């Protein structure tokens, strides 16, 4: 991508309406643009990051055997009346009437719709378990949308649903998602901890929120520091192995505000290990048995009887993650943002010092840019005539993790190269490509 041709509308200053770093940066670097309260357009830079996050989320869902579907954003109110949630959901639900005066709604979540899909086609217990997921826009008419895409009204969510024959099998499914979430967040270079949480309007009595620590988070958390050292890498997708993993985490006191109990916390966590802080909820999983299958009559035949399937649901805030990664990765002290390579809008920026009367640097930069592209490096070249230091500042702001500078000193094969936040090195182009490619693996 040539910077001069790109659509990256960078603002000169931080917008005053944005209170937290991620919101400021996303507006400042032209990742998003507000269209109305709590509703945003995603511009190329932001959209690219979100799509890369989505890809990782998808790969980790596929890896546990979940199958992708796509349900619509607009749903009929009938199924919500069947489950009994149409009234319960209250004002957060955006209700719409079509031209026949039928009551429709913009889906805030999909338990009803997926149950309806399941019950119309699955009749035998032999097809269980079924794990279905989709990645789709949701709408919740939040009372106070804030912090940009962190708490907005229209947002992009991965929601998965499991269908099983018994509680035991359903917990096996639950634990598969538990593991897949740990892996997903790790690939995004986030350290997300599972915490016992309230189930709110989704329901059920077992639930974990996945929280990343951040001062700007909206969830207050109480946890045992030792939970950060739990290892999950060796866990397999077998029932026992997954159960052990859950036990290893659940052994530690780790809850959000609404589950907090002072004496339990103090009795189970020694003073040195207590951590009371704030965090951002990036994922939330629920087990609710037959809460939806029973009223909606989603059953399978098992040993001559009809059994209501046991269900769980599993959400990841795909669009929220874009902001959450910024909150976690932005280094206040150096005013530097560095995207994890796995989701960065570009792997590397080629930044030539462009002189009106001499195009040597620009031509050299174009050659490097073309060569890197041919080696599958996602690269952007700044071919504008802006001065060198403001170009570098701009890429520090954009958070592109690697930069190549073609300036005065660039006479031979050794190229000035640096990782954001570190010092420059002088390396040959093939070495640079090797270094970035190895990091991408
Ligand atoms: N049906 C369940 C699981 S699929 C569900 O809807 N869970 S949820 O309400 O917890 O949402 C899942 C994830 O979506 C949350 O963990 C959060 O990361 C994200 N999310 C929820 N509300 C918003 C919002 N208003 N703005 C941005 N992201 C949100």
For 230-276, write each residue's pLDDT tens digit: 999 999 999 999 999 999 999 999 999 888 999 999 999 999 999 99
Pocket test for ligand 1, best of 284, 291, 314, 325 (most atoms within 8 A of CB): 284
Q: Is pLDDT above 70 for 410? A: no
* pLDDT at position 325 over 90: yes
Maximum C-alpha span of the chain:
86
- pLDDT for position 409: 60
Q: Which residues pair with 193 in a beta bridge?
A: 211
Every domain of the chain and the residues it spans:
3-329, 348-440
pLDDT average, residue stretch 209-224: 91
In terms of Cβ atoms closer than 10 Å to its own Cβ (0-12, 13-18, 19+), residue 263 is: exposed
147-162 pLDDT tens trace: 999 999 999 999 999 9
Closest C-alpha among 356, 331, 338, 324 to residue 192:
324
Ligand 1 test: best mutation among 20, 320, 321, 323, most atoms within 8 Å of CB? 320
Average pLDDT, integer, range 416-436: 95
Domains 3-329 and 348-440 share a fold: no
- CATH number for the domain whose boundaries are 3-329: 3.30.930.10
Taking only the tens place, the pLDDT of each residue in 103-118 is 999 999 999 999 999 9
Predicted local distance difference test score (pLDDT) of residue 158? 98
Q: Is the CB of 158 under 6 A from ligand 1?
A: no
Q: Are strands 103-106 and 94-97 parallel, antiparallel or unpaired?
A: antiparallel
Q: Over pLDDT 90: what percentage of the chain?
A: 86
User: What pLDDT shows up at residue 215?
Assistant: 84
Q: What is the model's pLDDT at position 412? A: 76
Residue 125 banded pLDDT, cuts 50, 70, 90: very high
Burial class (CB in 10 A: 0-12, 13-18, 19+), 277: middle
Query: Options 3.30.497.10, 3.40.50.280, 3.30.470.20, 3.40.50.800; which CATH number does 348-440 get?
Result: 3.40.50.800
> 315 C-alpha vs ligand 1 centroid, how far in Å?
6
314 C-alpha to ligand 1 centroid (Å): 9
């Amino acid at each position: 991508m040539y910077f001069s041709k790109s659509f990256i509308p960078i603002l000169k200053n931080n917008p005053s309406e944005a209170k937290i770093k991620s919101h400021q940066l996303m507006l400042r670097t032209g990742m998003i643009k507000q269209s109305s309260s709590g509703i945003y357009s995603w511009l190329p830079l932001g959209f690219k990051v979100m799509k890369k996050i989505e890809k990782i989320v998808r790969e980790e869902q596929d890896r546990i055997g979940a199958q992708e579907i796509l349900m619509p954003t607009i749903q009929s109110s009938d199924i919500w009346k069947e489950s009994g949630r149409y009234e319960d959901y209250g004002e957060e639900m955006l209700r719409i009437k079509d031209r026949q005066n039928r009551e429709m709604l913009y889906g805030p979540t999909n338990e009803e719709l997926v149950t309806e899909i399941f019950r119309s086609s699955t009749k035998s217990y032999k097809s269980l378990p079924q794990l279905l997921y989709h990645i789709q826009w949701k709408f919740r008419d939040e009372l106070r949308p804030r912090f940009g895409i962190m708490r907005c009204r229209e947002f992009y969510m991965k929601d998965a649903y499991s269908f099983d024959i018994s509680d035991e099998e359903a917990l096996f499914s639950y634990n598969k998602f538990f593991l897949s979430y740990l892996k997903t967040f790790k690939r995004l270079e986030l350290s997300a901890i599972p915490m016992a949480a309230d189930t709110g309007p989704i329901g059920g009595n077992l639930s974990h929120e996945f929280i990343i620590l951040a001062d700007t988070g909206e969830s207050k958390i109480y946890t045992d520091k030792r939970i950060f050292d739990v290892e999950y890498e060796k866990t397999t997708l077998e029932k026992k192995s997954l159960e052990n993993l859950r036990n290893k985490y659940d052994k530690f006191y780790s809850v959000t505000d609404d589950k907090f109990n002072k004496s339990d916390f103090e009795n189970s966590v020694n003073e040195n290990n207590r951590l009371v802080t704030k965090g951002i909820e990036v994922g939330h999983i629920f087990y609710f048995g037959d809460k939806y299958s029973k009223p909606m009559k989603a059953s399978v035949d098992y040993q001559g009887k009809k059994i209501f399937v046991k269900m769980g649901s599993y959400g990841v805030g795909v669009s929220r993650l874009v902001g959450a990664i910024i909150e976690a990765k932005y280094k206040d002290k150096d005013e530097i943002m560095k995207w994890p390579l796995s989701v960065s809008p570009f792997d590397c920026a080629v930044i030539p010092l462009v002189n009106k009367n001499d195009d040597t640097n620009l031509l050299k930069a174009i050659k490097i840019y073309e060569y890197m592209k041919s080696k599958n490096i996602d690269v952007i070249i700044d071919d504008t005539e802006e001065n060198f230091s403001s170009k570098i500042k701009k890429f520090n702001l954009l958070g592109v993790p690697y930069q190549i500078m073609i300036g005065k000193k660039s006479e031979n094969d050794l190229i000035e190269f640096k990782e954001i936040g570190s010092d420059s090195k002088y390396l040959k182009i093939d070495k640079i490509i090797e270094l970035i490619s190895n990091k991408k693996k």
